[in-house]
Each structure stands twice: as C-alpha cells, then as structure tokens.
Amino acid sequence: MAINLVTKFQPYVDEIFKKESKKALVTNQDFDWTGAHTVKVYKISTGSMNDYDRAGTGSGVTGSRFGAVESLDATTEEFTLKKDRSFTFAIDKLDSDETAQQLAASTALARQQREVVIPEIDSYVYGVMAAGAGTKPKSVALTPENIYDEITKGTNSLDNAEVPDENRVIIVSPDVYRLMKKSKDIVMETDIDTNLRKQGVVSNLDGAAVIKVPASRLPKNCGFILCHPSATVAPTKLEDYRVHQDPPGISGSLVEGRVCYDAFVLDNKKMAIYYQELTA
C-alpha cells in the first residue's frame, strides 16, 4: 500500500545570525561632508621655547628678549570619500505570494543591510584603522600567559603619546577574548552599564572598554586594536534605500540601495591607535 506523506512549509525564514555594528564606539563623526565630496583640515605647528633674555642683549625683531620670532606652519590633510557602493534586486509578485509572503521586499531589504552592508562597512573601517595605526609592534603569538603584558604595552604606548584616558577601547575577536578570560593576570571588570552593554561592551580592562567583533570583520591575523575614537573619522554621507512597486518591466518589487562611506585616520592622532598583529 502506497502512502503519500504530507510536506508542510512553515511561514518562517531561517535567518543568519549577524552582529550589529560597533564602529560608533571606536570612531567619530566630527567632520561634515554635506554638500562636499572632499574635506580638508588644517595641521598647525607650534613655536619653540626659549630662555628669556632679561638683559635684552638682542636687537631688532629677530633678537627680542623672548627669542627669535618664528613663523607657524599651516598644512592641510585632505579626506576624499572613496566608497560609493550599491545593490539592486527584484522580487516577482508571484514569488512573494507563493512563498507565504516570506520573500517580501521590506524584509529582504532589512536582511541585505544586516548581512551585507553593515559587515562590509565594518570590515573596511577596521582595516583602515589597522593600516593607519601609529604604533604597530612586531607580530606575536598571543597566549593566556602573555596577552596581559601585550595589552598593557599598548596602554603604555597611548599613555606616552598623551592620549586621553577616558573612552579608550580594545577591539578583540571572540578567540582573543577567550584568551583574555583564561589569563591569570587579567581581572576584567564585567559590571558594565546597561547602555554600554547594549552597544557591545563586554568588560573593562586597564581603563579601556573591551568589545568583541567577529573575526570576519577584522583584518587577517588581527590580535587586537587599542584605540581612542578621536583618531578615526568614519563618515557615512549617504544611505539611500528604496522599494519600487511595479516599476516598468517588473511585475513585483524592485529594491535598490546606495551607501557612500569612508574612514580616515587623522595624522596628528594616529598614535591613539595601537594595532597588534598575530603571527600567521
């Protein structure tokens, strides 16, 4: 006797887990690209200190009691947006109807942002930070025994560069965070403010907030990035997402998206980024 068993589809999509972006904790939006594609900022030099000539033995402007008169340099840094990215896809009207509305334009757009756009931007920003770091020590193999010393080398580097103590952040992958938890020398503060925990801060070490970032979004062989958000400007000038219903030539929805973004490490603040690479 033959029996035809029932196959049943549930109105449910098995979504991929994706982390939200944490780049807002490690970058800033200090500059405004509205109405411009390039922004220039000044770097101004300072004057040297002299021994005051109380007796006034000098003569003229170049030999005053205060020392020789100097001219200050005013050079510029230029930041031009390079990343102008887009996507588009169509969803047929019958495809949407015959998949119990699971293939819908609005949810597909949200999925595209969550699984494609945000990871791409994050990966780019972290790559720029690593490449522009002011301090890049030799690559090491991090272990539970040496990880505390390696991280404190980073904080020492930022201290000597007079980087502000507050708002420092350590970016680590889940694997490196596991090493930190196994280290006998590390006692991390896990009593984190609820709002910071929602933003992705998992603990605090040596005065810096620790955030976990998926390894796929960090540079290859990234050990950790210790940074201050003032060092990196990460503008997103344009985010344009739209759903066209029944446009010419398509029976259904046409989804389009465009995002213009970039990241820049300020030259005078690059010492506020310490990038430790792992041995391959």
> pLDDT per residue over 87-129, tens digit each?
999 988 887 765 666 678 888 888 899 999 999 999 999 999 9
Confidence of residue 187 (pLDDT cuts 50, 70, 90): confident
The Cα–Cα gap between 224 and 140 comes to: 11
Q: State mean pLDDT over 185-206.
A: 75
Asked if residue 7 has pLDDT above 80, the reply is no
Q: Using alpha carbons, select from 236, 234, 254 the residue that is nearest to residue 245.
A: 254
C-beta of residue 154 within 8 angstroms of C-beta of residue 53:
no
Asked if residue 250 has pLDDT above 80, the reply is yes
